[in-house]
Amino acid sequence: MLLDSAIMLLGLEAAAVSVLLVGAALGALLSAVASGCDVCRRGHGPAKSDPAPSPLGALWAATPGRAVPSPAGRAAEPGCVYLVGAGLGDADLLTVRALRLIQTADVVLFDRLISAEIRSLAAPGAEVHIARKVPGKADAAQAELNALGARAAQAGRSVVRVKIGDPLLFARGGEEICVYRGLGIEPVLVPGLSSALVAPLLAKIPVTHRGVANQLLIATGRDRGGRLPDLPAYSPSRTLVLLMAVGRLGTLFEGALAPLGFPASTPLAVIEDASLPTERQTVTTVAEVAAMHAARPFKAPAVVVIGRVVGALADAAVAAEARMLGPAPESLLRV
């Protein structure tokens, strides 16, 4: 009996030690996650990508007695280049990470379409440049920004390249990564909200909806050489979102969509300045948008949404079907 008790006691002590070890390891992991430090190696191989917000980090911050990590620990670091997505233009839609980097960078390189509100967030002493991208001169302006960023990073300064939307969605972010890698600098990527998804959302257009659209195609309105890219034939269950396509609206239907089988009555929405006080939403059809554009030209930045999802939520049949898929609305209000 005594031997059994001793063995049991030893087992409990071993279990307690194991719990303590696991707890210590978890605490170390949480601390590392919450610290959120960047690693930006120059000439030493790929850097770690920017750490995403983690449930473990949130758990650490919410634990009684634990200090919340200081924002200063997430500041832009000397000699590093950050490719930061700024979203649509409303500063409230910036990620916390993007905001901190813009506020702490030595050099900030803005896209031309970045809103004045976001540009004003740069530190008072920061060196600020705005891309001089205009039709026909985009390549030269891009090369100028690349050179400014590279020289600043090689001089040991922190560089934040702020791009509208998401850095890797029709934003030349991939090209910039290649340029910096050629100089031994591995950029840190910070995602941003893409207008391709958020502009329709703000206009209450679901780019997918059961029974209406089960596919989404995002395309540019200007490929290399200024051409519209090859698009697939019309499918009633596909939503087409076009970026940088304002200049195409006058000939979009006759020149591109009609030959692909798009009915003239296909709904189309143009969302200008999404998320800004000047936002303007226009709903029409693919056949009628040319006349509207001629009467009052649409202005960039704008997102074009084409497909049955435009106006779907206002369609009585679609709304009735959606209600049939769940409990009756009045039942949700019963106590």
pLDDT average, residue stretch 223-244: 93
Burial of 142 (0-12, 13-18, 19+ CB in 10 A): middle
pLDDT class of 52 with cuts at 50, 70, 90: very low
What's the pLDDT score for residue 23?
45
pLDDT, tens digit (0-9, with 9 covering 90-100), for 81-130: 999 999 999 999 999 999 999 999 999 999 998 999 999 999 999 999 99
Strand order in the sheet with 215-220: 215-220, 238-243, 302-306, 267-272, 280-285
**How far is residue 289's CA from residue 268's CA, in Å, rounded to a whole number?**
8
In this structure, are 165 and 218 located in the same domain?
A: no
Q: Which residue has the tokens 């990508």?
A: 49
Comparison of pLDDT for 269 and 64, the residue scoring more: 269
Measured between alpha carbons, how far is residue 162 from residues 35, 178, 327 in Å? 24, 17, 45
| Mean pLDDT score across all residues of the chain | 81
| 146 and 209 in a common domain | no
Number of neighbours of residue 231 by Cβ within 10 angstroms: 15
Residues in the chain, overall count? 335
Told to judge if 111 belongs to the known catalytic residues of this protein, a careful annotator would answer yes
pLDDT of residue 327: 66
Residue with tokens 């087409």: 240
**pLDDT score of 67:** 35
pLDDT at 322 over 80: no
Confidence of residue 72 (pLDDT cuts 50, 70, 90): very low
Of residues 141 and 274, more confidence is placed in 274
Here the tokens at position 331 are 């039942």
Task: Give the lowest-confidence range in 8-17, 255-264, 311-320.
Answer: 8-17
**Residue 317 token pair:** 């049949």
Of 193, 220, 236, which residue is a domain's last? 193
Alpha helices in 228-334 (DSSP H): 252, 289-295, 316-324
Q: How far apart are CA 64 and CA 67, in angstroms?
A: 9
Tokens of 146: 């690349």
Say which residues have a Cβ less than 8 Å from residue 180's Cβ, sequence separation at least 6: 81, 146, 149, 150, 153, 186, 187
Domain that holds residue 213: 196-317
Can you tell me the mean pLDDT for 139-151?
Answer: 90
Alpha-carbon distance 111 to 93, whole Å?
17
- Mean of the pLDDT values across residues 156-170? 96
Pair 304, 222 in one domain: yes
Within this chain, do residues 165 and 180 fall inside the same structural domain, yes or no? yes
What single DSSP character describes residue 51? P
Does one domain contain both 205 and 181?
A: no
Check residue 117 and give its pLDDT.
96
* Whether residue 176 sits in one domain with residue 201: no
Catalytic residue among 50, 90, 106, 111: 111
Q: Are residues 217 and 170 in the same domain?
A: no
% of residues, the chain, pLDDT over 70: 71
Cα dihedral 130/131/132/136 (nearest 10): -170
Of the candidates 133, 163, 166, 273, the residue annotated as catalytic is 133
Same domain for 178 and 81, yes or no, is: yes
Higher per-residue pLDDT: 36 or 236: 236
What is the CA 183 to chain-centroid distance, rounded? 26
Instruction: Look at residue 287 and tell me if it is in a domain.
Output: yes
For residue 258, name the pLDDT band (cuts at 50, 70, 90).
very high
Which pLDDT belongs to residue 326? 64
Closest CA to 173 of 194, 158, 199: 194
Q: Would you state the structure tokens that stand for residue 213, as one six-digit string?
A: 């659209």
42 lies in some domain: no
Instruction: Look at residues 193, 215, 235 and tell me which one is the last residue of a structural domain.
Output: 193
In this predicted structure, what is the pLDDT of residue 261? Answer: 98
Q: Which residue has the higher pLDDT, 197 or 314?
A: 197
Q: Has residue 291 been placed in a domain?
A: yes
- b/e per residue 18-44 (b: at least 16 CB within 10 A): eeeeeeeeeeeebeebbebebebebee
Residue corresponding to tokens 């911050």:
61
Mean pLDDT of 139-165: 93
Residue 50 is a catalytic residue? no
40 pLDDT tier (thresholds 50, 70, 90): low
CA torsion 145-148-149-153 (nearest 10°) is 170
Q: What is the per-residue pLDDT for 16?
A: 43
Q: Are residues 139 and 218 in the same domain?
A: no
Per-residue model confidence as pLDDT tens digits over 10-29: 444 444 434 333 344 434 43
| Model pLDDT, residue 77 | 87
What total of structural domains would you count in the chain? 2
User: Residue 106 sits in a domain of what CATH number?
Assistant: 3.40.1010.10
The amino acid sitting at 151 is R
Q: Are residues 217 and 172 in the same domain?
A: no
> What's the CATH number where 266 sits?
3.30.950.10
Domain assignment present for residue 106? The answer is: yes
What is the pLDDT at residue 328? 63
Q: Quick check: is 178 in a domain?
A: yes
Q: Which CB contacts under 8 angstroms, 24+ apart, belong to 287-294?
A: 287/253, 289/249, 289/252, 289/253, 290/249, 290/250, 290/251, 290/252, 290/253, 290/254, 293/249, 293/250, 294/250
